[in-house]
Amino acid sequence: MADLSVSIGKLKLKNPVLVASGTFGYGQESRALTDLNALGGIVTKSVTLKRRDGNPPPRIFELPAGMLNSIGLANVGVDTFISEKLPFLSELSTAIIANVAGSTPEEYLQVIEKLDEHDSISAYELNFSCPNVKQGGLAFSQDPKVTQQVTRMLRDITEKPLIAKLTPNITRVSEIAQAAKDGGADAVSLINTLVGMAVNTQTRKPQVHTVTAGYSGPAVKPVALAKVFEVVQNVDIPVVGIGGIMNLNDALEFFITGACAVQVGTANFIDPSTGEKMVGGLNDYCNGNGIDAISEIVGSLKL
């Protein structure tokens, strides 16, 4: 039996396959579609201080090997999350990582203050990178100084591991990763969605209401791998790889490039058991190739 467990600072994962924020709801929706406990962890839909309605429709548009979304952080808000969503998640034997978002640094702080007493939450992923809200989000992870300050502020109020989620819509993502590290983040996760756009040539309207939107799916995987590579090569911080991961081979590309864990996003919409299958496949792969621990693969890229 290969050892698939991974440690990211104080965060222990039984295996390196997580599901990505906003692509798995709050877990319970898929309970009959997959064995949730097979996953290394579940990253929740972004939680904000107040409930958010999200953007007007259309919010989604399909593209060749990808999709656009402009959900706009629609979520139930931190209080309802704690009262209605967390109890189900708490019963699971997988790591629960709360993804936290906000329009101001204070909002992140207030959300984490509310969540922090709940032991079932193993870590926070800080969504510094949502392209679909007017304020905050993206701006935070496009400026290293802001990234560092906000991370530091949150580092000071919680003992739990912090994972800064970074945007790919930036010249040098490694500068932001370095800033997150300097601010006290335990890890970075990337990528959030690329900014993309599509036009309905019949109506001459944008295909999603917000005009530009977040681009995800297999089509963004090459960009995600290049960004992960940039961070791995330049910053000494654990990296969680995200972007277009549909199967074990895709996940292996990220591990080999240097990601110590991966998150499955868009693939869940097509098959919410993608992560579960990947864990099984990874186990077989390791056993079949004489690999005792997942760490033997991580960063094994031959340059």
Partner 1 sequence: MICSPPKSHDCIVLSNKRLSENSIYLTRLHCPDIAQNSSSGQFVNIKVSNELSPLLRRPFSICKVDKAEGWFEVLWQIVGRGTTLMAGYKVDDVINIIGPLGHGFHIKSGIESAILVGGGLGIAPLPFLCQDILEKSSANIAVYVGVRTKADLAMAELFNDFDINIIQCTEDGSAGIQGYVTKPLIEKLASKSSVPPVLFSCGPEVFLKRMVDISSEFDVEGQISVESVMGCGFGICVGCPVEVQDYAEGERKYKLTCIDGPVFDSREVLLVG
Ligand X SMILES: Cc1cc2nc3c(=O)[nH]c(=O)nc-3n(C[C@H](O)[C@H](O)[C@H](O)COP(=O)(O)O)c2cc1C
Map residues 165-194 to x or -, x wherever contact with partner 1 holds by CB under 8 A: ------------------------------
Interface with partner 1 includes 29 (CB under 8 A)?
yes
Cα atoms in the Cβ-side hemisphere of radius 13 Å centred on 236: 1
Q: Is 242 helix (H, G, I), strand (E, B) or coil?
A: strand
Of 23, 30, 103, 147, which lies in the binding site for ligand X, with binding defined by CB under 6 A? 23
206 forms beta bridges with 199
Between the CA of residue 107 and those of 90, 103, 230, what are the distances in Å? Answer: 24, 7, 30
Rounded to 5 degrees, φ, ψ at 210 are -80, 10
Q: Two tokens at 96?
A: 């629960």
- Active-site hit among 130, 138, 219, 220: 130
Of 265, 275, 276, 278, which lies in the binding site for ligand X, with binding defined by CB under 6 A? 265
Between strands 95-100 and 121-127, the pairing is parallel
Contact window for ligand X (CB under 6 A) among 2-10, 27-35, 66-74, 106-114: 66-74
Of 44, 48, 69, 129, which lies in the binding site for partner 1, with binding defined by CB under 8 A? 69
Q: Are 23 and 44 in contact (CB under 8 A)?
A: no
Interface with a second copy includes 146 (CB under 8 A)?
no
Q: Of a second copy, partner 1, ligand X, none, which one sits near residue 48, judging by CB under 5 to 8 A according to partner kind?
A: none
In the complex, minimum distance from the CB of residue 258 to partner 1, in angstroms, rounded to a whole number: 25
Interface with partner 1 includes 67 (CB under 8 A)?
yes
Among the listed residues 48, 14, 15, 42, the one whose alpha carbon sits nearest the alpha carbon of residue 29? 42
Q: Which helix (H) or strand (E) holds 68?
A: strand 66-69
Q: Of a second copy, partner 1, ligand X, none, which one sits near residue 62, judging by CB under 5 to 8 A according to partner kind?
A: partner 1
Q: Of ligand X, partner 1, a second copy, none, which one sits near residue 216, judging by CB under 5 to 8 A according to partner kind?
A: ligand X
Q: Is 246 helix (H, G, I), strand (E, B) or coil?
A: coil
Buried b or exposed e, range 215-242, using 16+ CB within 10 angstroms: bbbbbbbebbbebbbbbbeebebbbbbb
The residue with its CB nearest to ligand X is 22
Q: Distance between CA atoms of 288 and 111, rounded to whole angstroms?
A: 44
Place of tokens 């309905």: 200
Q: Is 286 a catalytic residue?
A: no
Map residues 15-54 to x or -, x wherever contact with a second copy holds by CB under 8 A: ----------------------------------------
| Smaller CB separation from ligand X, 142 or 192 | 192
Map residues 241-280 to x or -, x wherever contact with a second copy holds by CB under 8 A: --------x--xx--xx-----------------------
Q: Of a second copy, ligand X, partner 1, none, which one sits near residue 25, judging by CB under 5 to 8 A according to partner kind?
A: partner 1
Q: Distance between CA atoms of 159 and 140, rounded to whole angstroms?
A: 22
Residues that bind partner 1 (CB under 8 A): 22-25, 29-33, 45, 51, 53-54, 56-67, 69, 71, 74, 217-218, 246, 266, 268-273
- Residues labelled as active-site residues: 130
